[in-house]
C-alpha cells in the first residue's frame, strides 16, 4: 500500500475518534508520544497532562483512557500492550506540535515524563521489561536529544551479530520509526534501510545502498560511531576495500607519523575510536585566581559536587558550561556560568548548590556533607529536598561559614531504591571528607541505608522518613519530621472528635514501609478514639479497582476514606479521589501533599484533610519563608522546610565539633538546639525530634480562580 494511502487511512481513523470530543483527541495526541502503551502508562498520561502549556484545563474525562485503547487508533500486540500504526502516530504527533496549546514545549514535557516513567524499569532483571524500557527511553530522547539517540542506535548496530536476522530487523524497524526526529541523520537512516534489505535477502540492493553513503575514508560514521559493514556486503565491494587497505598501509609508512603521534592515535582509538586534540587545560594557563583544586571524579557514580548534571530536565548551555568548568578546575568560570543560569532559572536548587561548591573550592577551605535524593524516579520531590539543603548552605556560606570554612554539598541520586541507597551510603562512608548526610527521604531507603551509615559511624538525618520503625533504629540515624504515630493520631482525632465520624476504610501500599506504618498507626489511633476501620485496600495489588473498593467500603458502612498512599501509589489514590466524587470524607498522609493532587483531584479533592509537618502559610513572616521566596521566586513545601532543618542541625553541630563522631555526640547532647524553619530543633535519644507536632491542611479552591491549594485549618 502506498505511503499516501496509509496517511489517508490514518487521518480517517483519527477523525472518527475525534467524534468522541476534542478532549478525547487531546489524550490521543499525548498517547502517540510513547512507542507502545499499557493501560497504566496511558492512565498516567491522563493524570499528568490535564492542562495545556498555558495552564488551561483540557477537561479530558476518565473514560477517554478506555475509549482510546479500544478504538481503531490502537492495536493490541500483547497482553495489555498496545501500539499505534506508524502513520497514525506520526499524524497525531504532527498535530500535537502544530497546536498552539502544546507545541515543542509539550513535546519536551512528554519526553521528561516518559524518561521518569521508564527509569526504574531500565534496571529490571527481566530482559523483556528492560528492552521495552530502553525503547521507550529512546522514544523520549528522539525529539529532544536526537544526537544521543542516533549515537545509541549506532552503537546497537555496531554490536549486532548480522547472522541474527530477527534482532537486525528489530533495530532496523526501530530506527525507521524515528525517521522524523532523526531526519538530520540521513546516513543512519540510509544504513538502516540497507541493513533492512540485507535482512530480507536482497544483497544487491543492500550493497548499492551502503556504497552510496560510504565516506571519504570508506567508512560510515554516525554520531561518533563507525557503523560495521557486513562481510556479505564487503565481498561485493572488493575493489573499494582493497583501496582502503592500501590507504591504511600508506598512512602507517608515512614519515609524518612520529612514534609520539602513533601513541596518541592508539590511545584515541582505545578510548573512543576518534582522536580529538584538546589543549583547554594543559596547553594554556588559566588565570591563577580562577583556578581551584581539581580532583578525579568517578563518572556515573550517581554522586556530584558540580562536575555532572543530575537533574537532566533542568539544563541549558550556561549550566552545562558551569559544570564543565567545575570539572576542569576553573572555579571562577563555573561561578560566572552558574550565576548566569540562575538569573533565568532561579528555582533550580542543583545549580545553587554547585555555585556554592565552586565558591567553597575557590576559597580553599571547606567541610563536606551530602544529600541523598531520588532525582531519577521523583525529580519534583528531589527538588523540594534540595531547595532546603541549598538554602541552608547558601545562608551559612554567605555569612562566616562553619568556623571560617565554607560548606560543600555532594548530591547523590538514590532513585528511591533501597539497594542503590545502600551503595551510595557505602560510597559516602568510605569518603572520610563526608561528615554527615541529609537523607534518604523515604522510610524504606532510610532503614536500608541506615545500617551502612551506622556501621560506618556516619550521621544521616532524614527530613521526610516517617515510619515508626526509625525511632530507636540507630544512634546515627535522626529525623526532622514527625513519625507516623503523631500524624495518625492527628487524623484519627480530627475524624472522631471534629467530624463525629466513627467508621473508616484505609487505602495503603503493602510494599512500602511508610505506607504500612501510617496505616497501622491510623488503625490503632481510630480504635483508641472509639472508632473502627472496617476495611483495608492494598493499592499495590495488580487487580486493585478504585470503584470496587469504594463500593465495598460503602457497603461496610465507611464514612471516611483514609489515603495512606506513598509516592509510587499516588496515581491510584487519585483514582480513589476521582471516583469517590466527594461522597465520603477524605483524609490523607503527607505523601499525598503534592501539586499533582491539586491539579488532578481538583474539585473532587476539595475538603480533603492532609497531615503534614509544616505549611508556608502557618508562619508567613518567618525569616525562612521570606528568604525562600527571595531565593526561589516561588513558595516552598514542608519537605523544603524539614530538609532545611536537617541541614541547619548538621551545620550547628559541626560548629561545635567538626568531626563525624563529634557531630553524632553533639546531636545527642540534650543541651543542643538550633532554630529551624519549623521551630526549635532538638533530638530525643531515639533520634526523633523533640516537640514535633503535625499540622492539618485542607484542599480549598483559590477564590476567583479554577485552581486549588492546601490551607491550614485552625487548631
CA distance 339 to 352: 8
pLDDT in tens, 68-80: 888 889 887 776 7
Higher pLDDT, 448 or 693: 448
Cell of 563: 489515603
Higher pLDDT, 121 or 662: 662
Residue 715 pLDDT: 56
Residue showing cell 495488580: 542
Indicate the pairing of strand 503-508 with strand 609-612: unpaired
CA distance 476 to 488: 26
The region of weakest confidence among 92-96, 241-245, 369-373, 701-705 is: 241-245
Residue 108 pLDDT: 83
Question: Which letter does DSSP use for residue 497 in this model?
Answer: I
Residue 245 pLDDT: 45
* 597 Cα distance to chain centroid: 18
- The pLDDT of 104-131, averaged and rounded, is 77
Burial class (CB in 10 A: 0-12, 13-18, 19+), 493: middle
- The number of residues making up the chain comes to 715
Q: Given a cut of 60, is residue 687 above it in pLDDT?
A: yes
Report the candidate in 50, 68, 48 with the shortest Cα–Cα distance to residue 59: 50
- The pLDDT of 337-346, averaged and rounded, is 94
Q: Given a cut of 50, is residue 249 above it in pLDDT?
A: no
Residue 3 pLDDT: 61
Q: Are 408 and 647 in contact (CB under 8 A)?
A: no
**Secondary element (H or E) of residue 462:** strand 459-462
pLDDT in tens, 260-280: 333 333 333 333 333 332 222
- The pLDDT of 592-621, averaged and rounded, is 91
466-469's contacts with Cβ under 8 Å and 24+ in sequence apart are 466/514, 466/517, 466/518, 466/590, 467/443, 467/513, 467/514, 467/516, 467/517, 468/517, 468/520, 468/521, 469/443, 469/513, 469/517
- The pLDDT of 391-399, averaged and rounded, is 95
pLDDT in tens, 364-384: 899 999 999 999 888 989 999
3-state secondary structure 137-188: HHHHHHCCCHHHHHHHHHHHHHCCCCCCHHHHHHHHHHHHHCCCCCCCCHHH
Residue 619 pLDDT: 82
Q: Given a cut of 90, is residue 628 above it in pLDDT?
A: yes
Q: List the beta bridge partners of residue 366.
A: 406
% of the chain with per-residue pLDDT over 70: 86
Indicate the pairing of strand 679-681 with strand 674-676: antiparallel
Give Cα separations from 229 to 173, 271, 272, 392, 519 (angstroms): 18, 21, 19, 57, 60
Q: Pick the most confident of 151-165, 216-230, 235-249.
A: 151-165
pLDDT in tens, 172-211: 766 776 776 777 777 878 887 877 777 777 788 878 777 7
Confidence tier at 283 by pLDDT (50, 70, 90): very low
Residue 238 pLDDT: 54
Q: What's the mean per-residue pLDDT of the chain?
A: 84
Confidence tier at 166 by pLDDT (50, 70, 90): low
Q: Given a cut of 60, is residue 289 above it in pLDDT?
A: no
Confidence tier at 463 by pLDDT (50, 70, 90): very high
Residue 215 pLDDT: 57
Q: Given a cut of 80, is residue 353 above it in pLDDT?
A: yes
Confidence tier at 397 by pLDDT (50, 70, 90): very high
Q: Given a cut of 90, is residue 666 above it in pLDDT?
A: yes
Residue 552 pLDDT: 96
Residue 346 pLDDT: 93
Q: List the beta bridge partners of residue 586.
A: 561
Amino acid at each position: 500500500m502506498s505511503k499516501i494511502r496509509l496517511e489517508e487511512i490514518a487521518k480517517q481513523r483519527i477523525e472518527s475518534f475525534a467524534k468522541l470530543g476534542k478532549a478525547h483527541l487531546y489524550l490521543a495526541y499525548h498517547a502517540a508520544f510513547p512507542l507502545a502503551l499499557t493501560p497504566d502508562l496511558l492512565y498516567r498520561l491522563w493524570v499528568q497532562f490535564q492542562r495545556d502549556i498555558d495552564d488551561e484545563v483540557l477537561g479530558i474525562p476518565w473514560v477517554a483512557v478506555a475509549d482510546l485503547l479500544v478504538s481503531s487508533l490502537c492495536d493490541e500486540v500483547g497482553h495489555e500492550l498496545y501500539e499505534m500504526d506508524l502513520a497514525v502516530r506520526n499524524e497525531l504527533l504532527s498535530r500535537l506540535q502544530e497546536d498552539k496549546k502544546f507545541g515543542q514545549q509539550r513535546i519536551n514535557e512528554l519526553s521528561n515524563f516518559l524518561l521518569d516513567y521508564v527509569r526504574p524499569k531500565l534496571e529490571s532483571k527481566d530482559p523483556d521489561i528492560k528492552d521495552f524500557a530502553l525503547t521507550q527511553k529512546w522514544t523520549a530522547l528522539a525529539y529532544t536529544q536526537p544526537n544521543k539517540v542516533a549515537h545509541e542506535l549506532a552503537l546497537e548496530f555496531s554490536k549486532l551479530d548480522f547472522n541474527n536476522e530477527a534482532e537486525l530487523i528489530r533495530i532496523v524497524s526501530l530506527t525507521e520509526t524515528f525517521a522524523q526526529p532523526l531526519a538530520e541523520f540521513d546516513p543512519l537512516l540510509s544504513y538502516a534501510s540497507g541493513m533492512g534489505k540485507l535482512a530480507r535477502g536482497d544483497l544487491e540492493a543492500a550493497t548499492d545502498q551502503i556504497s552510496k553513503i560510504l565516506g571519504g575514508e570508506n567508512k560510515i560514521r554516525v554520531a561518533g560511531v563507525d557503523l560495521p559493514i557486513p562481510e556479505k556486503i564487503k565481498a561485493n565491494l572488493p575493489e573499494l576495500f582493497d583501496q582502503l587497505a592500501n590507504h591504511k598501509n600508506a598512512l602507517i609508512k608515512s614519515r609524518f607519523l612520529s612514534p609520539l603521534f602513533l601513541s596518541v592515535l592508539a590511545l584515541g582509538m582505545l578510548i573512543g575510536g576518534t582522536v580529538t586534540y584538546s589543549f583547554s587545560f594543559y596547553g594554556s594557563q588559566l588565570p591563577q585566581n580562577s583556578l581551584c583544586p581539581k580532583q578525579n571524579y568517578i563518572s556515573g557514580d550517581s554522586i556530584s559536587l558540580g562536575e555532572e548534571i543530575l537533574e537532566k530536565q533542568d539544563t541549558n548551555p550556561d549550566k552545562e558550561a558551569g559544570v564543565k568548568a567545575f570539572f576542569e578546575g576553573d572555579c571562577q568560570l563555573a561561578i560566572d556560568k552558574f550565576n548566569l543560569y540562575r538569573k533565568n532559572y532561579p528555582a533550580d536548587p542543583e545549580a545553587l548548590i554547585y555555585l556554592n561548591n565552586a565558591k567553597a573550592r575557590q576559597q580553599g577551605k571547606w567541610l563536606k556533607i551530602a544529600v541523598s535524593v531520588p532525582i531519577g524516579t521523583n525529580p519534583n520531590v528531589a527538588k523540594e529536598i534540595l531547595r532546603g539543603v541549598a538554602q541552608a548552605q547558601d545562608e551559612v556560606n554567605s555569612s562566616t561559614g562553619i568556623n571560617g570554612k565554607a560548606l560543600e554539598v555532594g548530591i547523590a541520586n538514590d532513585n528511591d531504591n533501597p539497594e542503590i541507597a545502600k551503595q551510595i551510603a557505602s560510597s559516602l562512608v568510605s569518603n572520610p571528607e563526608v561528615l554527615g548526610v541529609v537523607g534518604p527521604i523515604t522510610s524504606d531507603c532510610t532503614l536500608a541505608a541506615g545500617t551502612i551509615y551506622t556501621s560506618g559511624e556516619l550521621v544521616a538525618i532524614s527530613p521526610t522518613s516517617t515510619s515508626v520503625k526509625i525511632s530507636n533504629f540507630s544512634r546515627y540515624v535522626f529525623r526532622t519530621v514527625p513519625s507516623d504515630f503523631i500524624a495518625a493520631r492527628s487524623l484519627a482525632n480530627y475524624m472522631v472528635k471534629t467530624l463525629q465520624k466513627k467508621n473508616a476504610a484505609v487505602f495503603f501500599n503493602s510494599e512500602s514501609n511508610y505506607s504500612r506504618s501510617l496505616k497501622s498507626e491510623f488503625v490503632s489511633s481510630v480504635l483508641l478514639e472509639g472508632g473502627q476501620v472496617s476495611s483495608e485496600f492494598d493499592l499495590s495489588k495488580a487487580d486493585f479497582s478504585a470503584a470496587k473498593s469504594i463500593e465495598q467500603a460503602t457497603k461496610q458502612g465507611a464514612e471516611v476514606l483514609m489515603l495512606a498512599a506513598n509516592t509510587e501509589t499516588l496515581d491510584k489514590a487519585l483514582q480513589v479521589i476521582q471516583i469517590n466524587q466527594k461522597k465520603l470524607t477524605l483524609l490523607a498522609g503527607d505523601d499525598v501533599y503534592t501539586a499533582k493532587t491539586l491539579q488532578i483531584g481538583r474539585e473532587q479533592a476539595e475538603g480533603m484533610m492532609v497531615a503534614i509537618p509544616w505549611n508556608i502559610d502557618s508562619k508567613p513572616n518567618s525569616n525562612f519563608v521570606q528568604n525562600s521566596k527571595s531565593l526561589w521566586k516561588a513558595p516552598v513545601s514542608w519537605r523544603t522546610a524539614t530538609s532545611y532543618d536537617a541541614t541547619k542541625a548538621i551545620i550547628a553541630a559541626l560548629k561545635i565539633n567538626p568531626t563525624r563522631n563529634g557531630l553524632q555526640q553533639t546531636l545527642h547532647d540534650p543541651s543542643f538546639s538550633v532554630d529551624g524553619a519549623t521551630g526549635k530543633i532538638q533530638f530525643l535519644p531515639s533520634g526523633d525530634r523533640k516537640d514535633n507536632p503535625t499540622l492539618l491542611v485542607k484542599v480549598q479552591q483559590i477564590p476567583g480562580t479554577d485552581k486549588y491549594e492546601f490551607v491550614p485549618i485552625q487548631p
